């Protein structure tokens, strides 16, 4: 059995997670925290490590609980705090994470450049100053492009080849106006598929520093698990043909998937969508790519 690394766990602060539990009727056991519930699922399904991708739009101190969890369990959990380019003094905030030893972050948005009708000037992109720091320390950066800013990612990936860019949610871009929540409390994208910017995003396969987390199929598929409507254009074979298995990772989107389809079925999604994937390719998707990008020794801060 392949030891698995889950590259898409959605981390909420304690009060927010508890509110989501109550509203969405997610499983809860007396005395069990978010991490307790996640660890139980990981142990049950041979998942050895998980990336806790922050959903907390706050500063260094508001990520204190997340940082403490990953410090106490550094072999099992990896923190990716949220960085917001629109927040004042966010460069100082990012520097604190780096000094703490963080090697992966989530960028809340790519931003925008000053005039979308003119050629893109890198230093006019609102997140540009943060990318300079990402590059200096060779950070890994999780991003979720929107239909409005996805064209900027190619410019940034090309300008900062030292940055490992990981596109979340199977590279399906967000359209905020068409995002809702379904009966299970999961994000739902009511988009025509494939999305209109798919060729822009698929073109990112030309950049060796861009990888993809295969997750969130529930949010854009029109079918229940195993999401058979995605086979023709969004199956694993398609991604391997574009990126190669060595630039692909798997993610559960826990806790959104804790009831429907359940953690184990998330692991089995590719069984329903693809039947001819080699064991070597699956090893990359389920662990080896993440080991290379996320489990290397931390850089030395100078």
pLDDT for the residue numbered 115? 61
Tell me whether residue 78 is in a domain. yes
pLDDT for res 299: 41
Q: Is residue 176, in this structure, part of any structural domain at all?
A: yes
At residue 234, the pLDDT reads 75
| Low-confidence stretches of the chain (pLDDT beneath 50) | 297-302
The boundaries of the domain holding residue 32 are 4-294
Number of domains in the chain: 1
With 0-12 CB in 10 A as exposed, 13-18 as middle and 19+ as buried, what is 159?
A: middle
In a domain, 301, yes or no: no
Helix (H, G, I), strand (E, B) or coil at 49: strand
The reported pLDDT for the residue numbered 203 is 93
- Give the pLDDT score at 116: 59
Look at residue 239 and tell me if it is in a domain. yes
pLDDT tens, position by position, 12-53: 988 888 888 888 888 766 567 899 999 999 999 999 999 999
pLDDT in the model for residue 1: 66
29 part of a folded domain: yes
How far apart CA 302 and CA 297 sit, in angstroms, is: 15
What CATH number is associated with residue 138?
3.20.20.140
Report d(CA 103, CA 138) in Å as an integer. 8
pLDDT of residue 114: 55
pLDDT at 16: 86
Please give the pLDDT value at position 301. Answer: 41
């Amino acid at each position: 059995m392949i030891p698995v690394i889950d590259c898409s766990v959605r981390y909420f602060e304690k009060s927010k997670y508890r509110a989501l539990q109550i509203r969405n009727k997610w499983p809860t056991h007396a005395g069990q925290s978010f991490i307790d519930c996640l660890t139980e699922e990981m142990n049950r399904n041979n998942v050895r490590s998980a990336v806790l991708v922050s959903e907390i739009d706050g500063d260094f101190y508001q990520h204190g609980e997340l940082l403490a969890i990953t410090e106490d369990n550094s072999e099992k959990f990896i923190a990716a705090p949220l960085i917001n380019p629109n927040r004042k003094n966010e460069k100082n905030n990012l520097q604190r994470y780096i000094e703490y030893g963080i090697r992966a972050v989530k960028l809340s948005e790519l931003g925008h450049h000053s005039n979308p009708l003119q050629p893109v000037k890198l230093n006019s992109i609102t997140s540009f100053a943060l990318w300079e720091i990402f590059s200096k320390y060779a950070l890994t950066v999780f991003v979720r492009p929107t239909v409005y800013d996805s064209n900027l990612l190619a410019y940034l990936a090309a300008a900062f080849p030292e940055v490992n860019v990981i596109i979340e949610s199977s590279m399906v871009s967000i359209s905020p106006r068409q995002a809702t929540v379904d009966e299970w409390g999961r994000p739902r994208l009511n988009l025509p598929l494939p999305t209109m910017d798919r060729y822009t995003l698929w073109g990112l396969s030309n950049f060796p520093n861009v990888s993809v987390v295969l997750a969130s199929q529930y949010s854009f598929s029109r079918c229940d698990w195993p999401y058979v409507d995605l086979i023709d254009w969004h199956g694993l074979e398609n991604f391997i043909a574009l990126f190669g298995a060595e630039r692909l990772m798997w993610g559960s989107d826990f806790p959104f998937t804790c009831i429907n389809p359940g953690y184990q079925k998330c692991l089995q999604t590719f069984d329903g969508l693809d039947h001819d994937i080699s064991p070597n390719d699956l090893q990359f998707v389920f662990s080896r790519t993440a080991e290379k990008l996320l489990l290397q020794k931390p850089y030395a801060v100078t």
